[in-house]
Amino acid sequence: MATGESWAERTLVARVADWPVLAAGHDSDEPVLMVHANRVTAVSAAARASGAAVGLRRREAQRRCPDAVLVASDPARDARVFEPLAAALDSVTPRINLSRPGQVAFATLGPSRYHGGDAALGERVVEVLAAALPRPAVVWVGVADGAFTAALASRPSRPEHPLAGPTGAVRVVAVGEAAAFLAPWPVSAAAAHLATPAGEEVADVLARLGLRTLGALADLAPGDVLGRFGPDGALLHRLARGLDPRPLSARRPAPELAVEVELDPPVERVDALAFRAVALADDLHSRLARDGLACLRLGIEVETEHGEQRRRSWRHEGGLSAAGVAERARWQLDGWLNGPAVDRPTAGVTRLRLDPEEVTAARGRQLGFWGGETRIDEGAARALARVAALLGTDAVTVPELGGGRGPADRVRTVPAAAADITSDRVLHPPGAAGPWPGRLPPPSPALVFADPAPVQLADGDGRPVVVDGRGHITAPPARLGHHLVVGWAGPWPADERWWDPDRARRRARVQVVLADGTAHLLALEQGTWYLEATYD
């Protein structure tokens, strides 16, 4: 057990299928799309069956699943509704880690012996979670060596789970079998587990080198992987071999680093508490940074005026940033204070404590020796981190220029937390510059609508204007709705992604100038004109 190299803690991961949909108060057999910033973040089983998938644009997902209910995604709600389930699991083991709302992990060493084996423990967990669920759903449980293998074992996949029942399914990967179980999975699964941009970058490189599966990666010599791909590659390699990503020596508890704040008078409101948590998280992060550490597992603890104590652990394999710590604290506090009445604390919170339960050596950003960062940049970065803590990390984004023909395709935004905004950023990913036939010449429109509205474009005789398959326009446009067109240009036909039947789009664009002097960009798609952008 202490050999370090071969040891990964036996772990159980339990996952509620499509948790965000459930948390929003919908059943999995209703067609539901959860969206954020016009992208689909989660779908119900019914919506998935009709072709909707995570990552699609909202409009595309709606096209595939027209009767779906749209719900705004809200991680805070997901966490709040999940808290009673986590509390129910306390009867099985006190050592629960939340990795994200809807998924818990814990070490099985003790509980497994008590319940009579991994399979029996898994069934017990399914039973407990199924009883606590707000509405019926499937609970997937995986037990294996290490949290990563267990998380994959909890995913529904072929072959079917040996112990599948109506409420849930348990899959146990025997001791020492982790590497064999992992071999067919893609490398990107390991990168997703680490959830760091660096990890994803290495996984991308590995895939392009032809190392697509974890099995292929595991066959390489550890020294070679470390030498060629650095610490991030070594982490992926350890995961691929079914080992603990960080050897025991790299993990240590650090009780003296815990930060806490006494609240007098007691605080009852989540936003007020979350605000204190942001300051506390900053403090914790600077203490850890001073010692060159990053937090892998964070304990959040509150004590109320009546002496009640609540504690919950969150973990993140990539190490939590200050904003990440603050966000998890906010989710957790929301879960306690706005949860079901029976679990809610009976008095205001008097003490809030953030406890880094597990830390590792940080390999984060170091300030440039020659002062690459100015004071202003640092201030701006801090203000943005604060806004991200208030609104969620996805709300603060930085632009990146990409390829594409339409004005909306040519720029995309990435979360500021995922980009190193204080250094010189590369704004053009590879391939963005390259020839894009049908791209509109500059100047570009100053307003680009995320959800273009349909409009009527007619010629001088009042007939609808159409562009045929060869790119010829039937007649020059004379009216846009009630507005008189005084100038026009185009059409620019664009046959986008014709090689991919799911994402292919044929469009034609025209520019029109109206009598009031305003100019607009219209796009014709499947017989309907849309107001795509305005040259404001």
- The residues binding other proteins (CB under 8 A) are 37, 374, 376-377, 379-380, 382-384, 386-387, 390-391, 394-399, 401, 407, 410-411, 413, 416, 421, 424-425, 427, 440-450, 459-460, 473, 475-478, 485-491, 510-513, 516-519, 533, 535-536
Q: For residues 239 and 193, is the Cβ–Cβ distance under 8 A?
A: yes
Closer CB to other proteins, residue 4 or residue 368?
368
Residue 441: how many CB atoms within 10 A of its CB?
7
Cβ–Cβ under 8 Å, residues 248 and 199 = no
Smallest separation, CB 17 to other proteins (Å):
29
Residue number with CB closer to other proteins (242 or 477): 477
Measured from the CB atom, is 236 or 478 closer to other proteins? Answer: 478
Nearest to other proteins of 120, 384 (CB atom): 384
- What SS3 class is residue 430? coil
Taking the complex as a whole, the smallest distance from the CB of residue 518 to other proteins amounts, in Å, to 5
* Distance of closest approach, residue 456 Cβ to other proteins, in angstroms: 15
Closer to other proteins by Cβ: residue 131 or 380: 380
CA distance 52 to 58: 10
Residue 44: C-alpha distances to residues 30, 52, 85, 534 (Å): 7, 9, 20, 36
Q: Which is nearer to other proteins, 117 or 476 (CB)?
A: 476
Rounded to a whole number of angstroms, the minimum distance from the CB of residue 116 to other proteins is 49
Nearer to other proteins, 256 or 516 (CB): 516
In the complex, what is the shortest distance from the CB of residue 428 to other proteins, in angstroms, rounded to a whole number?
10
Spatial contact of 507 and 406, defined as CB atoms under 8 Å apart: yes
Work out how close the CB of 412 gets to other proteins at its nearest, in angstroms, rounded to a whole number: 9
CA–CA distance, 156 with 118 (Å, rounded to integer): 18
The residue behind tokens 């998280």 is 281
- Give least dist CB 340 to other proteins, A: 24
Q: Which residues have CB under 8 Å from 291's CB, separation 6+?
A: 257
Closer to other proteins at the Cβ: 486 or 504?
486
DSSP string, 207-272: HHTT--BHHHHHTS-HHHHHHHHHHHHHHHHHHHTTS-SS-GGG-B--GGG-EEEEEEEEE--HHH
> In the bound complex, what is the minimum distance in angstroms from residue 475's beta carbon to other proteins?
7
Give the residue among 15, 14, 58, 46 at the shortest CA–CA distance from 451.
58
Nearer to other proteins, 247 or 487 (CB): 487
Whichever of 313 and 511 has its CB closer to other proteins, that residue is: 511
User: Smallest distance from the beta carbon of 387 to other proteins, in angstroms?
Assistant: 5
Rounded Cα distance between 372 and 375, Å, is 10
From residue 458, alpha-carbon distances to 385, 403, 461, 485, 533 in Å are 49, 32, 8, 10, 18
Buried b (16+ CB within 10 A) or exposed e, 136-145: ebbbbbbbbb
Closest distance between other proteins and the C-beta of residue 440, in Å? 8
The two structure tokens encoding residue 410:
């040519």
Of residues 356, 353, 361, the one with CA closest to residue 291: 361
